[in-house]
Structure 1
Amino acid sequence: MRTIQIAALTLGLVLAASPAYAKRLPPKPVHPVRAKGVEFTVPHAMLMGLVVATDIKSGTVLWRRQIYTVRIDPAVEEDAQWSFITGIKTENGCLIITNESGCEYSLNLKTLQVHAIKGNVVVQWEPHDQ
């Protein structure tokens, strides 16, 4: 009986230490950007790849725009595939967005059209070399 308990404990420790079972840390907050009376924020809790524009004076949400989607492979642990926005900045009438996968997007602030500068608008998990 003691041998079974030790084996179960050892297996539990191995599984708990395994990267395949590890939970990721929450995404780092993205600093809001302000331009022309509008504040652009990234609410990670709502949806991955989402940017929200809010009128600074009234606090009214002007629009929400999903910049990219993340295609989840059900055979792989979900949180290992997440890719959150890491930064935003304004440049030439656009909002430039970067994410954890190294992708970069341009959101035209007049038309709200998204253009992938680097990467795709659908982020797909790819295994990294171990």
Structure 2
Amino acid sequence: MHPTRPALGLALLLCLLAGVGASPLAAADAPAAKRVAPAPVRPVTVAGIRYEAVLATRARGLPQEGGYVAAIDIRTGSELWLQRIYETQYEPRLEEDVQDIFILRMKAGAGGRTLEIVDELDRRYSLDLATRQVRRR
């Protein structure tokens, strides 16, 4: 028996386990690594207005996925306004969906004058509900 044959067999086995040399068809059928959907954020209600972290913002023609809050009139169900809380900077060489940053949680601030927001990177923002000005804390 040739001394390199067991090593060659082991190398072939390791390559097969790692997917090296797999057929292009098998690779095309394999699921792509995508980001899972973010956990839902509990809406906050202040003075008859429900504030929600908005998902599917690109479907609305907006420049980024996530990072927006909508104000909804509870009585009519109509959206009063949409405010971007932060801007996501995308690296063009990477898939956008893995770079999206979503709002993690929200709560009413003192006196119900602000909305306190935390994103997935643990950055904190305060949204003035009267002026819609955003301040990073």
Q: TM-score, normalised by structure 2?
A: 0.70
Is 1:81 matched with 2:99? Answer: yes
Per-residue CA deviation, residues 35-68 of structure 1 (Å, 9 max, x unaligned), is 1100001121124101000111111211110101
State the match for 1:31 in structure 2.
Answer: 42
| C-alpha separation in 2, matches of 1:61 and 1:82 | 24
Comparing both chains, which one has the higher relative contact order based on Cα–Cα distances under 8 Å and sequence gaps of 6 or more? 1
Percent identical pairs in the alignment equals 36
Task: Please identify which structure carries the higher helix content.
Answer: 2
Counterpart secondary structure, 1:8: coil
State the match for 1:8 in structure 2.
Answer: 21
Figure out how many residues of one structure are paired with residues of the other and give that number.
108
| C-alpha separation in 2, matches of 1:70 and 1:102 | 14
8 Å contact kept, 1:53–1:64:
yes
| Displacement of 1:10 | 8.2
8 Å contact kept, 1:48–1:69:
no
| C-alpha separation in 1, matches of 2:133 and 2:108 | 15
| C-alpha separation in 2, matches of 1:10 and 1:33 | 51
| C-alpha separation in 1, matches of 2:53 and 2:36 | 17
| Displacement of 1:101 | 1.0
State the match for 1:111 in structure 2.
Answer: 131
Q: TM-score, normalised by structure 1?
A: 0.73
Q: 1:30 is aligned with what amino acid?
A: V
**10 and 103 in structure 1: CA distance in 2 versus 1, 3 angstrom threshold:** farther
| Displacement of 1:23 | 1.2
State the match for 2:55 in structure 1.
Answer: 44
User: What root-mean-square deviation, in Å, do the aligned CA atoms of Structure 1 and Structure 2 show?
Assistant: 2.4
State the match for 1:66 in structure 2.
Answer: 84
| Displacement of 1:79 | 2.2
Q: 1:25 is aligned with what amino acid?
A: V
Task: Please identify which structure carries the higher strand content.
Answer: 1
Structure 1 unaligned regions, length at least 5: 118-130
Counterpart secondary structure, 2:97: helix
8 Å contact kept, 1:65–1:112:
yes
Structure 2 unaligned regions, length at least 5: 1-11, 58-64
